[in-house]
Structure 1
């Protein structure tokens, strides 16, 4: 962290950029890092993103942090800023940067990408389950007291990212989580874990279940239109809880992008490799051993092409898990044949 501080110039404003459609880990990490940098004398700092903060839990994290987010599309004169990426890496397809910009710093817990080596400062820890754990360790190493609201957001983010430390949680994540528990607000944590849900969410959940399918140990859902991009990950997490299922797949479109999320309960798997196999070649993907996601631009006006792409993703997923199978896919609710057409 001290190396990052020495890399930052005092006379240039800071754009802190999180990945598109930011989740609790990205939001909490950025909020915590912004607080640290302010404590170190850097005043002109804004957090930028692209997409939506759609999920109710994510919106609660924003309320806890009491920070404002700004769209990267609204950055004017981008060359006058210095950029720090949080919970993402440059040129990976899931973060939006102005053209011609190279960040001065990258803090992430995903596998290191080649372009990241060009960045002056990077702290990449793929063995960590959450980026928020890295930020917690920055607080500790600099002996900066963590405010209650940031402690709450960081703790929830670690819990959310690792499913209460049961999914890819490292010793560092466990240590951070336990120590943050003594500093947070349990009322804020409860509101974030169990937010009020809109009627639209219930309607979308119903729609997803009606479009859900399964084949052997794979369960999934195909949606024509997602209510927000993170809904794909939300449904992949939800469906994996169905008994006897060890893999889940959710895909759907939002505007002109097809989003794909996969999850597994197999601790020996590598979801990041599987997502690369099933995504179209012109798409982008990334992830960890047990969670992964991808996206690809599409022309929604050509519905037959979009449907073909979705079918190919499903079939590639099945054949990756069950080589040479001719799948008999079944609807989850009715047990009728699930049409790939």
Structure 2
């Protein structure tokens, strides 16, 4: 007999459903049952099936058991399943055997007889129930989101300042969801889209985004914020703006909005929005799927940092719709001269304290060059934690990277600079902003650079438990 991916023994209601699911998944299947009527029903659906008593050796020997990916013994009788498992194990010692049991006792007997996987009604019901509860929770959230948008005709979706791929793609997804609910929406941002990768994403995907400083905000009925947790939290949203919707994956406290979804069990805000797209049964366009996939990929640093199961599942859902050529183009844009200069300055000014590296990157024009410098310096031998900072206009911007599992760099930055500015992030990556006002009216750049460096260095080293010299 030819080889099959799966051999199904027992074609009752449960076995028949399993057969259908496997065939829909593109698997090559053959079924065996002693009931001629059940076999005929399967054959009528053009499914390969044989009549035979699966408890007899001659029936099992006709099947190519050894070459199958798995043999599924799915009759409703525990005793029949036990007898068949024993026979299969003697005929094909290495084949994977999956069977069903009506009780825990029967499961123990089947496992002792050589079954690799034993499914009980309790296991199936528990898995199904948990999945349904999770889906119900997500649908409840989406119903609340829909209610918030019910009376809204035009929605403004803010990102954090100088938006990155996670923020951009999340805003794109929320705009699509708003459209699904019959609401027109615009994506607004403050700052600049200066990072080469971010610019490449916006240009290649033709993302429509508006500079918030050039827009009359009074034209909007409601405001949303993605990848940030409130007005003034890594953004320049005016204090008199009331946010109706907040969606973020960073830890936060005292969040106020009609609707908010804050999760620290995912690695990207784009993951949350992808789940929304799934639950609403919205088929993502090629551009939206590519953006969300790229957002998750970059935020988790190629699925290596702070990545959770939900991120992988979201990426798997998106992947069939993704344009891989566009992903490749966005991954490798040309390095700007300014970025190269900032990295060079950061290398030159580096100071090392044990496994910690601190560096002043100078007076910068693009804050997005700092994380690139931090990523580069983290590759140095013996370095596990990097903090790079630079001065831009009226503030000091900080970027930190960490691979020491004992340290949560987001908490360290919050402890070090939270009282003089805004700071925070995750265990592996974090950032902050400190107004220059705390350094007085110093105008001489050299003096200002020295004051800032000493203050940043002292506060950071104290936060990690090292005394500065």
Structures share a fold, TM > 0.5? yes
Task: Give the aligned partner of residue 317 of structure 1.
Answer: 460
1:240 to 367, 378, 398: 378
2:425 to 278, 281, 287: 287
Task: Give the aligned partner of residue 241 of structure 2.
Answer: 101
CA distance change for structure 1 residues 224 and 201 in 2, over 3 Å: closer, same or farther? closer
Task: Give the aligned partner of residue 168 of structure 2.
Answer: 27
Q: Which runs of 5+ in 1 are unaligned?
A: 327-341
Q: Secondary structure at the match of 2:321?
A: coil
- 1:16-59 deviation digits (Å, cap 9, x = unpaired): 0000111111011111211222133212x111111111111111
Task: Give the aligned partner of residue 315 of structure 2.
Answer: 177
Q: Secondary structure at the match of 1:111?
A: coil
Deviation at 1:320, TM superposition (A): 3.0
Given the alignment of the two structures, is residue 121 of structure 1 paired with residue 259 of structure 2, yes or no? yes
Residues in 2 aligned to 1:320 and 1:221: alpha-carbon distance in whole angstroms = 16
Deviation at 1:74, TM superposition (A): 2.7
Residues in 2 aligned to 1:203 and 1:170: alpha-carbon distance in whole angstroms = 35
Residues in 2 aligned to 1:82 and 1:182: alpha-carbon distance in whole angstroms = 34
Deviation at 1:222, TM superposition (A): 0.5
- 1:207-259 deviation digits (Å, cap 9, x = unpaired): 33222332221123212212301111221122112222110000001111110
Residues in 2 aligned to 1:105 and 1:65: alpha-carbon distance in whole angstroms = 25
Given the alignment of the two structures, is residue 4 of structure 1 paired with residue 142 of structure 2, yes or no? no
Higher helix residue share: 2
186-195 or 156-165, which deviates more? 156-165
Given the alignment of the two structures, is residue 205 of structure 1 paired with residue 340 of structure 2, yes or no? no
Task: Give the aligned partner of residue 252 of structure 2.
Answer: 112
2:285 to 133, 140, 147: 147
TM-score normalised to structure 1 length: 0.88
Q: Secondary structure at the match of 1:293?
A: strand
- 1:139-164 deviation digits (Å, cap 9, x = unpaired): 10000001111111111111111112
Q: Secondary structure at the match of 1:19?
A: coil
1:46 to 175, 186, 191: 186
1:69 to 209, 223, 229: 209
Higher relative contact order (CA 8 A, sep 6+): 1
Q: Decide whether the 8 Å contact of 1:298 with 1:306 is kept in 2.
A: no
Q: Decide whether the 8 Å contact of 2:457 with 2:468 is kept in 1.
A: no
Deviation at 1:10, TM superposition (A): 4.2
Q: Secondary structure at the match of 1:182?
A: helix
Aligned alpha-carbon RMSD (Å): 2.0
2:450 to 276, 301, 307: 307
Q: Decide whether the 8 Å contact of 2:290 with 2:327 is kept in 1.
A: yes
Q: Decide whether the 8 Å contact of 1:10 with 1:42 is kept in 2.
A: no
Residues in 1 aligned to 2:339 and 2:252: alpha-carbon distance in whole angstroms = 35
Higher radius of gyration, 1 or 2: 2
Given the alignment of the two structures, is residue 89 of structure 1 paired with residue 89 of structure 2, yes or no? no
33-42 or 198-207, which deviates more? 198-207
TM-score normalised to structure 2 length: 0.65
Q: Which runs of 5+ in 2 are unaligned?
A: 1-141
Residues in 2 aligned to 1:62 and 1:280: alpha-carbon distance in whole angstroms = 32
Task: Give the aligned partner of residue 273 of structure 1.
Answer: 411
